[in-house]
Amino acid sequence: MSKGTIVQRLACALLITALFLIALLFAKSGLQMGLLFSMGPFMLILFAAILTNPYWGLMALFVLNYFIMGIARYVSVTALGLTTDVVIGLTLASFIYRTTFVGDVPFERIKKNVLILLLVAWMGMCMLQALNPTAVFAAWISNIRSYSVYPFFTVLFTTILFTRFKDLKIILFLWSLFTAFAFLKVLMQQYLGFDSGELNWLNQGGARTHLLITGTRYFSFFTDAGNFGSNMGCSMVVFTVAAFYVKNKGLGFWYFLVGLAGAYGMFVSGTRGAMAVPFAGYILYVILSKNVKSMILVSIFIAILYVFLNLTYIGQGNQYIRRMRTAFNTEDASWLVRKENQKVLAGYMKTKPFGEGLGLSGAEAEKYAPGRITNLPNDSWFVKVWVETGVVGVSFHILLLALSLFYGSYLILFRIKDRELRGLLSAMICGFAGILASSYGNAIFLQYPTGIIMYMIQAFLFMGLEYDKELEIRDKELTSRDEIVDENNQLAADGV
């Protein structure tokens, strides 16, 4: 018997054994354990891929980031929340391995991205919050990662690993697929009903904010309808803009359809704050486009949308249109409550320049410090940062975000030459601006999956010049190659 035959039989025996064990676990321990065990071989392959090449670690982080909260509704594994940490840790280990044994990690790229330095400073400020006299260590340790660790490593990994314009396009295409999945899931919720995991989440408190007398607020596989609505509004802006700049016409058509799917998802989420996303995003696009036709068309669209929602009662019988219209109503009851809460917090925060401590604002902080004034609902990402890190922290945070917004806009307006790159960066920064605007009314900026996407966008903006140089060199090489071919063809035609 040959060695090849022996190996084949051993592999077959292992496969049969694995299938038997999976079936046994499904039968004895239920769906969750069976699924976890069946994912084992895939996870081993993924771990091996990440350890040998950190590029796959960043890709895994992007994919996992989008679906992790949806998975959490079906797999009640305590360590699931640490999965992001594991992927980041494996990617770091891969960096160490490549640096030690291969030496091909382009760390010099870090010097070209000032955002990384600013994020180091931001992380240092957040670390020092552990010494805040009013801080609670459990709240601090629970929030420090999403506040500063994840943003830092997202920008660091993206800067070092996504060295080609092709990488940006891959991320954009994956994002379009994920948006389509989120759209299909919300259609299932609407027309087939909620599944067992979603019903369990609703019964545990989600129904209070999602099953309203005025109608159902759909959330797909996101954390909640507010996060879902704003994220889909961002997809609407990003992909409707990108559709007109990608060179592949078929891909452009796909992106436009995804943008429409994003608009639908934003609409059925019933999230009033999400309306800020298309308004802010498209207004910025009007500024960046430098194209009279685009300016006119987008301006007309924004004007029609504003008039329809704020100055007419057309479609008032539709629950979602009614809810969206309240975003323009300054006398809305919930808006007035928000403003009153912010007044109370403002009085308390006068003596708190460094804030109350990470994780100690809003209703979710009740488990760490019951009864504090800062546990009033913040209803805003920026109010949350202000209450938890003080005027010092929120000022630095806003400065960091503003730098990305203005520097990226400057590059797009005056420095980026390649049309496709300029268009895709415009799409991304417009989506980023929309999320910033929406974050004033919803604390969604660093929620899964929005947070990591936003910081990846910022990294791409700061690498815009590098991508532009890459494309310029490519175009010169193609032009030179075409000239040589033309010259050879001319010589052949002359009989030389």
Tokens of 391: 């005027």
Q: What is the pLDDT of residue 98?
A: 82
CB of 403 closer than 8 Å to CB of 118? yes
Q: What is the pLDDT of residue 91?
A: 92
Helix axes 114-128, 381-410, angle to 10 degrees: 170
- What are 215's strand-pairing partners? 212
Q: Which residues contact 173 (CB under 8 A, 6 or more apart)?
A: 251
The whole-angstrom distance between residue 305's C-alpha and the CA centroid of its chain comes to 26
Phi, psi of 416 (to 5 degrees): -75, 125
CB-count exposure of residue 21 (10 Å: 0-12, 13-18, 19+): middle
Q: What is the pLDDT of residue 301?
A: 78
Q: What is the pLDDT of residue 26?
A: 46
Give the C-alpha separation, 3 to 20, whole Å: 26
Tokens of 254: 């796909």
- Spans of the chain, pLDDT less than 50: 3-4, 7, 15, 19, 22, 25-27, 29
| Confidence (pTM) | 0.87
CB of 113 closer than 8 Å to CB of 462? yes
> Helix H segments across 273-418?
276-289, 292-310, 319-325, 333-349, 381-410
Q: Which residues contact 166 (CB under 8 A, 6 or more apart)?
A: none
Helix axes 450-462, 464-493, angle to 10 degrees: 60
- Please name the amino acid found at residue 420: E
Helix axes 276-289, 381-410, angle to 10 degrees: 20
Give the C-alpha separation, 324 to 306, whole Å: 11
Give the C-alpha separation, 444 to 450, whole Å: 7
Peptide bond into 54 cis (omega under 30): no
Tell whether the torsion through CA atoms of 279, 281, 283 and 285 is positive or negative. Answer: negative
